[in-house]
């Protein structure tokens, strides 16, 4: 049993009747092209995790057997990297009327429950698959043991419309604060912090304390599925639980950042080069796709890349801190191809 944190991500393969829209990927999450976008992210997530964290256990949660659903080359890479697999059905899904977007994200409750019940590693780090490792996690192990839970808190500058009444992906911060207060007797000291769902790291003990709260919030989310200002995503869950259990805001903000690299909202900056983990939501179909193809076509085995070589690639392919002219041209061409395909009614991933 590893004494270090297990590094995990997840993927849910939706069937056509379960499909929903994911704004930065496409309109139908049951399509193979949609799912391939995520498999490439998973390949690079774990490859970067392994290159920077040779001793850490790696784990993928999936609702199907990886060997049956992953593209064969990606399944082979995951095996070579030593990525373990937990096959876990998705049992927390809001009705389609309430979750036209991001229908899968309450899978994190299934993961919390599985980890709380099955036990195992002393701590779990759960990240979105569209994240890339740039440095080792080891320097933060002691902080995680001391604080029990580290979360990434969005700063007002990182989040459009940050006033209390404004819905952030379907729920206002005012309502999140009131929910924490009403259900768990503890509201925020000042402004309600908004926790990004892309990163959470917690100990087994913390997970066992958080699980009943998550289940209670899930009940509420289901009852309020028709309300305009209610729990819609895992970020609302994390934000409320964090306040209820007194998790310090900004605990992981020097580890990870949500970096926008796309046309109108780019906010990458030189300091991002110091981070341990990059979350790159707008690169799923651009940087991740091209970098995976480059690695697949490369003449060296992926694990032969040194951490520095790998970081040079992620910097170039993801355009952090800025996009080079070649990436700008390729991104524009890819966007244009996508528009043309849509216009032609080919129904490709948008």
CB of 296 to Mn ion, least distance (A): 22
**Residues in 197-216 that interact with Mn ion by CB under 5 A:** 198
Residue closer to Mn ion by CB (options 137, 278) is: 278
x-or-dash string of contact with Mn ion, 97-136, rule CB under 5 A: -------------------------------x-x------
Does 234 help bind Mn ion (rule: CB under 5 A)?
Answer: no
Residue closer to Mn ion by CB (options 130, 331) is: 130
x-or-dash string of contact with Mn ion, 238-267, rule CB under 5 A: ------------------------------
Residue nearest to Mn ion (CB): 128
Residue closer to Mn ion by CB (options 134, 175) is: 134
> Which region among 88-96, 192-200, 204-212, 217-225 touches Mn ion (by CB under 5 A)?
192-200
CB of 238 to Mn ion, least distance (A): 14
Does 283 help bind Mn ion (rule: CB under 5 A)?
Answer: no
> Which region among 36-44, 68-76, 196-204, 264-272 touches Mn ion (by CB under 5 A)?
196-204
Residue closer to Mn ion by CB (options 148, 194) is: 194
Does 281 help bind Mn ion (rule: CB under 5 A)?
Answer: yes
**97 φ/ψ angles, rounded to the nearest 5 degrees:** -60, -35
The residues of the shown chain that bind Mn ion, judged by CB under 5 A, are 128, 130, 198, 281
């Amino acid at each position: 049993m590893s004494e270090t944190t297990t590094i995990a991500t997840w993927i849910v393969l939706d069937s056509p009747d379960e499909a929903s829209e994911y704004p930065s990927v496409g309109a139908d999450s049951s399509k193979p092209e949609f799912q391939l976008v995520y498999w490439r992210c998973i390949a690079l997530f774990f490859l970067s995790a392994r290159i920077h964290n040779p001793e850490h256990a790696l784990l993928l949660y999936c609702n199907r057997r990886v060997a049956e659903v992953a593209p064969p080359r990606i399944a082979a890479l995951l095996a070579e990297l030593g990525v373990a697999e937990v096959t876990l059905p998705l049992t927390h899904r809001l009705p389609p009327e309430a979750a036209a977007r991001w229908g899968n994200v309450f899978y994190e409750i299934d993961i919390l429950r599985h980890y709380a019940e099955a036990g195992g590693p002393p701590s779990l780090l759960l990240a979105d698959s569209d994240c890339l490792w740039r440095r080792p996690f080891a320097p933060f192990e002691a902080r995680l043991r001391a604080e029990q839970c580290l979360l990434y808190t969005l700063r007002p500058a990182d989040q459009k419309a940050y006033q209390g009444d404004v819905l952030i992906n379907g729920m206002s911060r005012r309502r999140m604060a009131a929910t924490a207060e009403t259900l768990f007797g503890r509201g925020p000291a000042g402004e309600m912090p908004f926790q990004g769902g892309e990163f959470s790291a917690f100990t087994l003990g913390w997970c066992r304390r958080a699980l009943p709260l998550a289940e209670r919030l899930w009940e509420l989310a289901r009852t309020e599925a028709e309300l305009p200002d209610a729990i819609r995503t895992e970020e609302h869950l994390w934000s409320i639980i964090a306040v209820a259990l007194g998790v310090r805001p900004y605990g992981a903000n020097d580890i990870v950042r949500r970096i926008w690299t796309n046309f109108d909202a780019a906010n990458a900056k030189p300091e991002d080069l110091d981070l341990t983990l990059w979350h790159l939501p707008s690169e799923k179909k651009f940087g991740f796709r091209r970098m995976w193809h480059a690695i697949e076509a490369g003449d060296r085995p992926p694990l032969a890349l040194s951490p520095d070589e790998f970081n040079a690639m992620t910097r170039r392919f993801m355009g952090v801190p800025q996009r080079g002219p070649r990436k700008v041209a390729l991104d524009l061409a890819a966007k244009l191809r996508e528009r043309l395909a849509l216009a032609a009614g080919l129904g490709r991933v948008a």
